[in-house]
Amino acid sequence: MKKVISLMLVVLLMSTALAGCATKETATPEKKKLVFTSRLWSAPEEKEFIINEIIKPYEEANNIDIEFSIATDDEIFDAIKVQQESGNITTDIITAHSGKMPDWTRAGYVMDLTDVVKSWKDRTFFETFKSSTHKDGKQYFLPVGADVYLTLINKKALKYKPEGVDIDHLTWEDYAKWAVNIAKGEGEGKVVITGIPQKSWIYMFGASALSYGAGFPDINSPEAMKAWKIWEKIGDAKGFIPTVANVESSVDPMKREEGWLCVFHNARVGTVYASNETKYIVAPAPSGPKGIGTVAGVSGYAIVKGSKNYEEAVKFLEYLTRPDIQTKIALGTGGFIPPVKEAIEQLGDGAEDEVIKKALMVLEKGVPSGVPAHEYKDWGAVKQIFDDIFVEAINGDKKITQEYLDAKQAQLDALKK
């Protein structure tokens, strides 16, 4: 028995060693192939939808294999960097976030698509994101899946709503009052923010600061101070959920109904809303004297420089950016805004359409700001400063004073490139 097992192991090891050293994997030579890596649609149900409802029909109609995978912005950039430096280009199409687009264009890893876009007469991309998708008058990225901030309210919170407040025209003062009422009434806070460092708190605060006319990121301006005071009011009333320090994503506590109020990313709002639309209300993000502030972003498709399948990649991008496909993608992936004028016109009156329409309203009428990560040495360190203020002052014992904010602003300025 022992001999048999030993022999089997040796054979297995030898065969796998040889297989491991093999250079070629079997592939059907006549079938074309495209490699598409995206930072968008990372949620499993979104990915499943894209594969089955968007990619598969295209593959069947065009006799092509599309190898689709998800990775983070940094992972995609690093992978393409290796490909560019080694000259072995294996990825054809990427999807990057607007905050990362300047890095791509600066590095010269993506192709100029200006003439390609000009030849498509049936679609008009939003001008809002032109500064990200274009460089020196040339278009490198085709926008998809714009994101803004929305308010998600669990209906259990309605009994604490301040008198005369219109949910669709909520102000930050109303939001704070509402949070305080809930904390008093329930004996526990119900406002959700991402308390784990270097997540989304900077954007949540950014939305409120922009509403008061502050910049982004901005810590110590008089306008930012007003926004800090709103959050301080919630903190003083113990208005945040008790587990706030452990929240990595607002989705989980909102789904668990541990939290009842949250202002966060529209697609993640869509995720929670889709889990039980009879339980939640979606509204635009709260407004301030300057309007509805929001940190807005967009993703964009691009063709990797040196792609061996340029013609096929263009053909596939033509398909992906068609207005009807953009609408289909937006509705199937829980609330991203399709940044194509003709796609918006195709929206209906369903729950997902409602999320998109409210997000669109925020984008069009709000005070949006992009993410100027490329202006700083380390965006993670920038996030950390805002996280520290939350831990020390908003949810801690320190008071929000001008001196305190000035010191934090100095830390922020030191991170500027």
Partner 1 sequence: MPVNRSVKKLIQKTTFLILIATILFFILTPIFFLTSLSFLSSREAYQFPLPILPSLKSEFVAEKSEKGYLISIYEPSTGEYESILDTNKFEKMSTYFRRELSIYTSPEKLKEILSQLDNGDIEKVHFTMRKSLWHNYKTFFKVTGNAKAALIRSIQTALVTILISLTLGGMAGYAFARFSFKGKEQLRFGILFVRMFPAVTIALPMVILLAKYGFYDRPVGLSLVYSVGSIGLTAWITASIFMGIGIELEEAAQVFGANKLQTFFKITLPLAFPGLAASSMYAFIGAWNDTVSALILTQSKPTFAVVVYKALIGSTGKINLTAAGALTMAFPAVVFTLFIRKYINQMWGGVKV
Interface residues with partner 1 (CB under 8 A)? Answer: 1-2, 12-14, 16-17, 19-21, 23, 25, 35, 41-48, 51-52, 67-72, 75, 78-79, 82-83, 86, 88, 90-91, 248-249, 251-252, 255-258, 268, 271-272, 274-279, 350-351
Shortest Å distance, C-beta 44 to partner 1: 5
* Shorter beta-carbon distance to partner 1: residue 67 or 122: 67
- Quote the least distance from Cβ 168 to partner 1, whole Å: 19
- Looking at beta carbons only, is 28 or 86 nearer to partner 1? 86
Q: What share of the chain is helix, strand, coil (3-state, %, to 5)?
A: 50, 15, 35
| Stretch (H or E) spanning 402 | helix 402-414
Picking from 388, 396, 366, 216, the residue whose alpha carbon sits closest to that of residue 288 is 366
Residue closer to partner 1 by CB (options 91, 139) is 91
Q: How far apart are CA 417 and CA 410, in angstroms?
A: 14
Minimum gap (Å) between residue 18 Cβ and partner 1: 9
DSSP codes, 123-163? --B-STTHHHHEETTEE--EEEEEE-EEEEEEGGGGGGPPT
In angstroms, the CA 148 to CA 364 distance is: 10
Nearer to partner 1, 131 or 276 (CB): 276
Q: Which is nearer to partner 1, 45 or 188 (CB)?
A: 45
Nearer to partner 1, 79 or 400 (CB): 79
In order, the DSSP letters of 347-400 are --SSHHHHHHHHHHHHHHHSEEE---GGGBS-HHHHHHHHHHHIIIIISSS---
- Tell me how far, at minimum, the Cβ of 370 lies from partner 1, in Å: 22
- Say which DSSP state 244 is in: G
Q: Nearest distance from residue 189's CB to partner 1, in Å?
A: 17
- What is the nearest approach in angstroms of partner 1 to the Cβ of residue 342? 23
In the bound state with partner 1, the residue whose beta carbon lies nearer, of 69 and 401, is 69
- How would DSSP label each residue in 285-303? PPEETTEEEEE-EEEEEEE
Contacts of 222 (CB under 8 A, 6+ apart): none
List 134's β-bridge partners, or say none.
139
CB of 371 to partner 1, least distance (A): 19
The least CB distance from residue 142 to partner 1, in Å, is 22
Structure tokens at 141: 């990225």
- Is the CB of 53 or the CB of 388 nearer to partner 1? 53
Please work out, in degrees rounded to the nearest 5, the angle formed at the alpha carbon of residue 49 by the alpha carbons of 58 and 250. Answer: 145
- The least distance separating partner 1 from the CB of residue 275, rounded to whole angstroms, comes to 6
Between 87 and 137, name the residue whose CB sits nearer to partner 1.
87
Tokens of 222: 């008089």
